[in-house]
Structure 1
Amino acid sequence: MTTTTQPSGKAFPSADGPDGPSPAAAGSDGLPALAWKPVAAVGAVLGLLLLVTSGRWGHQGDELYFLGAAEHLSWSYADNPPLMPLLASAMDGLFDGSLVGLRLPATLLTAAGTLFAALIARELGGGTRAQLRTAAVWAAVPLSMIIGHSLSASTVDIVAWTVVSWLLVAWVRRRDDRVLLAAALVTAVAMQAKYSIAFLWIAVAVSVLFVGPRPLLRRPLLWAGAAVVVVTALPGLLWQADHGWPQLDMAEVFRRESSGAVAYVGVGFFLAGVLLTVLLGYGLWQLLRSPELRPYRFLGWSFVGLFLLFLVSGGRPTYAAGLFPVLWAAGAVRMERGAPSKWWRWAVSWPVIGLFFVFSALTSLPVLPRSDDEAVAGTENNPQAAETVGWDDLVDAVEKSARSLPAKERERAVIVTEYYTEAGALDHLGSGAGLPDVYSAHRGYWYFGAPPDDTRTTIFVGSDREELLERFTEVREAATVAGKGNKVAGTKVWICTGGKQPWSKAWPELAHLY
């Protein structure tokens, strides 16, 4: 029987648990050896699945927005910091418009998440079985497959939370302040994709004040790292301040889009893998109650605080999901070392994990044949998937409408869309169709500017005739977007002339976030 020294100074045995003895030998740093071969195999399987499905069907709506936003480079945007448009533009150019290439960062980051999840288990003293179980659960849940399938800010955000969690656990055990600086650098990058990682640090600070370890908040390199984060985020924050803090308005949008507490919990339950949520709950309980995990208790309370905060404020279930790996790791380590009740152990057995890997793939990835009546299997669980089809039909309908105009009229025409995703689709996918310039007053696209005042004809995508007649003297239907079971099917395309106001005057009134 081997022992492992914990931050509390006590040693507890690496006893034979329900999975049998842990074969990992302690390394020079006192930790079990990293089970890199089985963990790498899990990551490779997940990465391969994401890779082979990443090119199916089409772009997701936010991906198209990022590509459109990249044509209007800025220090920040109404709804995102600048990293995602820059990354989308770079990958699109590097891989010549390949959807697989565009999504390669999401594929690689999500596959790498298996390693970081396993590293958390290792830092908590887990051997091969605990590391492998943590990595396998990360790979098997719908959350990972959803964030790994498309290029999104959530992908960067959740993986960054996982890395920062690992580094915080490592600091508690090692007290090496360079780890805190590394965590700050990861945070600085994450803040260029999404600001929500700031909530993680706030929750950690509050929890540390109450349950320790309080020396964490007195480390000079922690505050030096915080200064780096602030300096790197400052240009974007100044842009937000100069434009009236639209990011705060977006928080209200998400609150209004929330379906309530029951849906919040239900979606979180689904994202965490339904039965596999048992491991998450067990890990949380162990973090909050186990004497051996007492030094890491602040992470358990951080999750509780953030989960409740986003529940009552109308946030999305994914906001606190970056702490799932810590809970999985704590649960897996205690399973390896202790003897959990037999009545629930089966829920996180290897056959069940494998079964849920298949379940997650079927519900969260485009692996099933597409039918005419459903855009993607499992769109009720993953609404973003419904945005990956129908864009070609949209481009065709708008191109047909533009061709119906006389040549001279087409030269003075513009396209205005009701929603930002439609503008991104027409900007990117319609670039080779010779379409007029594209504008939208929705969300971030509104900030890219209004159509010119000398516009003669507006091809308007969306809305209805009665509403458009409030702004134009003549409105006629030109086309309807074909298709079924996707976000744009049935959308009307209108030819509008005789604007009652110049666009420069009308544009401020048209801005909308919903």
Structure 2
Amino acid sequence: MRPSMQEQPARADGGPQRPEAEAHFARPTAASHTVLPPAQPPPPPFAVLPVAAIACAVAAVLLFSAGRVGYYSDELYFVAAGRHPAWGYADQPPLVPLLAHALDTLSDGSPVWLRLPAVAVTTLGVPVAALTARELGGRRAAQTATAGAYAVSPVMLNGHLLSTVSLDIVLTTVATWLLVRWVRTRRDRLLLLIGLTAAVAFQIKFLGVAHWAALLVAVLLVGPRDLLRRPLLWASAAAVVLTALPGLLWQAANGWPQLAMTKVISREVARMEGGRAVFLPAMFSGAGMVGAVLLCYGLWRLFAARELRPYRFLGLAFAGLCVGYLAVNGRSYYVAGLFVILWAAGATGLQGLWPTGPRVWSAAGAYVLAGALAVPVLPLQPVSRTSENRLAIETVGWPDLARSVARVHRELPPGQRDRAVVITYRYDQAGALDRFGPALGLPRPYSGHRGYWYLGRPADDSAPVVFVGGDEEYLRQFFVSVRRQGEVTNSAGVRNLNWGVPLWICEGLRGSWRTMWPRFSHLNADWVDGASRPPGSSTSGSSPA
């Protein structure tokens, strides 16, 4: 009697030995371009204990890191934007601002509570990574290796802060796992879950347009083309478009500022971040030391390994996205949502190696080293002692900024103070004043920078203006009188983007606020257009991801 499928010995690549008729996927016939699977054996058991241990470690590290720093620039903007509910914002869909405002209100201003969604979603990515390897036939070692690569990837560890990136990457990872599972099982109900995941992702970031377009082209080129004949796929796609429609209508009504933002980001990447030359190095750095190796090997296997032929479209989509973002000067982490499928493909290809003691210890050492190299991403030491963690440095000094502005505001004569308005050059400065200013008696802040400009303009009878940032030449195009009233520092002595920012008293607006406010709008900082630094800044800064 022939042994059962589960009793077959393992091949060198880790898959079971089976006759051609019982291969994991049947050959396409001349009459069909579709790769159709026969009845499938169950996947290997899920590696519950090691994956759970890795997930718990990731959650603990992220929670510890989340409590060690103050608000980050984008978090302040999210909270402020959420206080002005809208179907869309200039630089993103509405979900993250509304979520940030709700959490900040319920927690009475706790950054840790604000970051819990990012921590939870990032931690969820660990078992999803292992499950992706399991769908490819990965046994315990391959699942653990894939989950471990996720855990020591610097780009994933940014989940200690609330950002559109940290949420979008994991949602793309979940959608990819569901897609891989559909390819193996052909259970069309999975397409509804994929649509739900994509719908949520489109309320966080518009990058999904490029992601799903690349997948569509890849499926058309290499299959499985029968995916495109599934009614539930198109029903799910219609639901995604329907849920995104209010945000698209908001963009259309406001002149499509998101498209303008993509051009701004492209210029930033080209002129400040190294441009196309650093795309691939930055991508490999974000994947981590172990992740970069698995990424390259996994991409090769998706194209070359016969048993992974049905998943080749994922490797092609990843390569296409890399080429596309290289062409438009996109950021390297835009492709990170597909890292896990590459890690899983690489890990399953290595699981057939005989697990000798030296190999196990060598692999464990590689992961430990990769984790140590990823540590600088996290604020594990006091921010005042490091200048390497750019994200952590920019969480310092926001209360100091508010106190400095409040001092200038209090020095105004009582008659002027009641009518004074506060305007900032950058969106994050306005977000900080919106968060910390009311307790100091400051009025609502305004800013012309990026999405903050769309949150409203000063009242027509507002005067004078306490202006944060900028320089005299910039301000005199709006005001007759401009005088400097000090500058911003911070009690920690950290020389970040706000260190040395000037504070101004401006009077004599050259027109009404209704006519002048459009001139305050600027999506990009001046250094993007060629200046060495933005006005009133002592160091170059970052932009919303």
Normalising by the residue count of structure 2, what TM-score does the alignment of the two structures yield? Answer: 0.86
After superposition, the Cα gap between the structure-2 partners of 1:338 and 1:173, relative to the gap in structure 1 and judged at 3 Å, is farther
| Per-residue deviation, residues 298-348 of structure 1 (Å, max 9, x unmatched) | 0000000001100111111111110000000000001003589xxxx8998
Which deviations, in whole Å up to 9, do the C-alpha atoms of 1:4-62 show, x marking residues without a partner? 599x96447xxxxxxxxxxxxxxx96110111221011010011000011011211101
> Identity of paired residues, percent?
48
The one-letter code sitting in structure 2 at the alignment partner of 1:389 is V
CA contact (8 A) 1:278 1:347 kept: no
Matched, 1:250 2:265: no
Find the counterpart in structure 1 of residue 63 from structure 2.
51
CA contact (8 A) 1:4 1:30 kept: no
For 1:463, the equivalent position in structure 2 comes to: 470
3-state secondary structure, aligned to 1:493: strand
**Do the aligned partners of 2:318 and 2:338 also contact (CA within 8 Å) in 1?**
yes
| Corresponding residue number in structure 2 for 1:15 | none
Q: Residue deviations 1:370-414, cap 9 Å, x none?
A: 326x4xx533xxx43332112122111101111111222111011
Matched, 1:77 2:94: no
Structural mapping, 1:354-369, within 5 Å: 354-361=368-375, 363-369=376-382
**Aligned pairs for 1:9-24 within 5 A:** 10-11=22-23
What secondary structure does 1:145 align onto?
helix
Residue 415 of structure 1 aligns to a residue whose secondary structure is strand
User: Which amino acid in structure 2 is aligned with residue 304 of structure 1?
Assistant: A
State the AA in 2 paired with 1:274.
Answer: M
State how far apart, in whole Å, the 2-side matches of 1:260 and 1:429 are: 36
- Provide the aligned C-alpha RMSD in A: 1.9
In structure 1, how many angstroms separate the alpha carbons of the residues matched to 2:265 and 2:393?
19
User: What corresponds to 2:411 in structure 1?
Assistant: 404
Do 1:269 and 1:277's aligned partners in 2 also have CA atoms closer than 8 Å?
A: yes
Shift in alpha-carbon separation, 1:109–1:138, aligned structure 2, 3 A: same
Per-residue displacement from partner, 1:132-184 (whole Å, max 9, x unpaired)?
000011001111111x1111111111001100110110000000000111000
Q: In 1, Cα distance between the equivalents of 2:112 and 2:283? A: 28
The residue that corresponds to 1:22 in the other structure is: none
Distance (whole Å) between structure 2 residues aligned to residue 481 and residue 227 of structure 1: 50
Contact 1:276 1:348 in 2 (8 A): no
Query: Quick one: distance in 2 between partners of 1:171 and 1:512?
Result: 45
Alignment-derived partner of residue 167 in structure 1: 178
Tell me the equivalent position of 2:309: 294
- What is the deviation of 1:268? 1.1
Helix, strand or coil: the match of 2:307? coil
Deviates more, 1:104-113 or 1:464-473: 464-473
Aligned to 1:150: 161
Distance 1:339 1:254, change over 3 A: farther
Does residue 1:509 correspond to 2:519, yes or no?
Answer: yes
Superposition pairs of residues 261-276 of structure 1, within 5 angstroms? 261-276=276-291
Structure 2 counterpart of 1:239: 250
Note the 1:87-126 alignment, pairs <5 A: 87-126=99-138
Partner Cα separation in structure 1 for residue 133 and residue 288 of structure 2: 19
Structure 1 match to 2:447:
440
TM-score between the two structures when normalised by the length of structure 1:
0.91
Q: Distance in 1 between matches of 2:414 and 2:41?
A: 74
Kindly indicate whether the alpha-carbon contact (under 8 Å) linking 2:480 and 2:508 is maintained by their aligned counterparts in 1.
Answer: yes
CA distance in 2, matches of 1:4, 1:458: 73
Are residues 269 and 94 of structure 1, via their aligned partners in 2, closer, same or farther at CA, if it must alter by over 3 Å?
same
Q: Tell me what 1:196 maps to.
A: 207
Superposed, 1:362-377 pairs within 5 Å as: 363-371=376-384, 374=386, 377=387
> Structure 1 residue 470: deviation in Å?
2.5
Task: List runs of 5+ in structure 1 lacking aligned partners.
Answer: 13-27
1:329 aligned onto 2:344: yes
Secondary structure class of the residue paired with 2:394: helix
Q: Which residue of 1 aligns with 2:329?
A: 314
More divergent stretch after superposition (414-423 vs 87-96): 87-96
Is 1:431 aligned to residue 438 of structure 2? yes
Q: Which residue of 2 aligns with 1:393?
A: 400
1:346/1:352 contact within 8 Å kept: no
